[in-house]
Amino acid sequence: MAKIELHPDYEQRRRIMELVMAAGKILLENGAEVFRVEQTMTIMARSFHLREFNVYVLTNGIFASAGTAEISEVRNVPTRTTHLGRVDAVNTLSRRIAAGELSLDEAEQCLADILQMPGITARSQVLASGLGSACFAILFGGTLVDFAVAFAAGALLGWFMLGCSQRHISAMLQRMMGSALISAVCVAFSAVLPGAAHSYSIIGTLMVLTPGVAFTMGIRDFVKGDYLSGTIRMMDALLVAACIACGVGLTMALIGWMGGVPV
C-alpha cells in the first residue's frame, strides 16, 4: 500500500489539485459523461485527503475549488473527441488511488502515461469509416454493389475529415462539406455502375457522420440531472444533424437542377 498523507501541506494540495483537474480534463475531452467526470474527480480528491473539494463540470469546462476556496482551478475544454481507452485508463487510475495502491508521485506518472496513449491511426480511421459505411448500406437494404460504393465513399469521407481536422476547420462545416461530398460521389457511382442505388450508399455513409455519441451523452446527462450539459450536447447534436441535412439536400437539389441523375 502506498503512503498517502492524511494532512497534505499547501504544496501537496496544489499538486493533488493539478492531478485531479488534469484527470477530469482527459475524461471530458475523450467522451466521458459529465457525472462520470465529477464522480471520478471527487473520488481522487477524497482519496488524497484534499479537504472541502467541490467541482462543477460543463461540456466544455471544469470549475473546482478546495480548502474553503484557497485553491481554485478552471480548465477550458474547447475540443472533444472519443478515445474510450483513455477514459477507461483514468477510471482504473482512480480506483487504484481509492484503494491506496498509488502515491501522489506514482499517480502523476500514471496520468502522464495516459496522456501519451496513442490514438487510432489515420489508416485505421479511413478503413473503419469505409467499412462502417458499407455495412450500414447493407443493413438498410442495399446490394453488394451498394456495399462497394458505400465503402469507397466512406473511405473518401474518412480521408476528407482527417484533412479537415488537420486544418482546424469547424466541426459544423466539416459535416456539411463531407455530406455534400459523399452525396455527389454516390450519385456519380450510381450513374456508371449497373444495379447501384445511390440512396442506400448515401444513407449508409451518412451514418458515419451522425452525432450518435453526443445525442446519447445528452440523454444520459438529462437522466442524471445535468440539464445544462445535456442541453448543450443535444443542441450540438441537432446542429450537426442540420448541417448534414443541408449538405445532402443542397447537393441533391443542385444535381437535379443540372439535369443529372434523377434524385
Q: What number of other Cβ atoms are within 10 A of residue 121's Cβ? A: 9
* Same domain, yes or no: 126 and 251: yes
Residues 78, 87: Cα–Cα separation, whole Å: 17
**Total domains, the chain:** 2
Of 49, 81, 115, the last residue of a domain is: 115
User: Which domain range does residue 147 map to?
Assistant: 122-257
pLDDT of amino acid 5: 62
HSE-CB for 263 with a 13 A CA cutoff: 21
Residues 25 and 103 in one domain: yes
**Do residues 78 and 191 share a domain?**
no
pLDDT of residue 52: 87
Among residues 83, 115, 147, the one where a domain terminates is: 115
With both helix axes pointing from N to C terminus, report the angle between 10-29 and 84-98 in degrees, rounded to the nearest 10. 150
Q: In 3-state terms, what secondary structure has residue 108?
A: helix
Same-domain pairing of 78 and 175:
no
Does residue 77 lie within any of the structural domains? yes
Instruction: Say if residues 29 and 80 touch (Cβ distance below 8 Å).
Output: yes
Indicate if 178 and 241 belong to the same structural domain.
Answer: yes
Assess whether 36 and 139 both reside in one domain: no
Residues of the chain with pLDDT under 50: 263
The reply to whether 103 and 171 lie within a common domain is no
d(CA 81, CA 40): 19
**Residue 251 domain-assigned?**
yes
In a domain, 262, yes or no: no
Element (H, E) at 71: strand 71-76
136 and 251 fall within a common domain: yes
Pair 104, 48: CB distance under 8 Å: yes
Q: Which of 57, 87, 115 is the last residue of a domain?
A: 115
In a domain, 5, yes or no: no
184 domain-assigned: yes
Same domain, 215 and 94: no
Report if residue 79 sits inside a domain.
Answer: yes
Rounded to whole angstroms, the Cα distance separating 244 from 182 reads 11
Q: Write out the DSSP string of 159-206.
A: HHHHHHHHTT--HHHHHHHHHHHHHHHHHHHHHHSTT--HHHHHHHHH
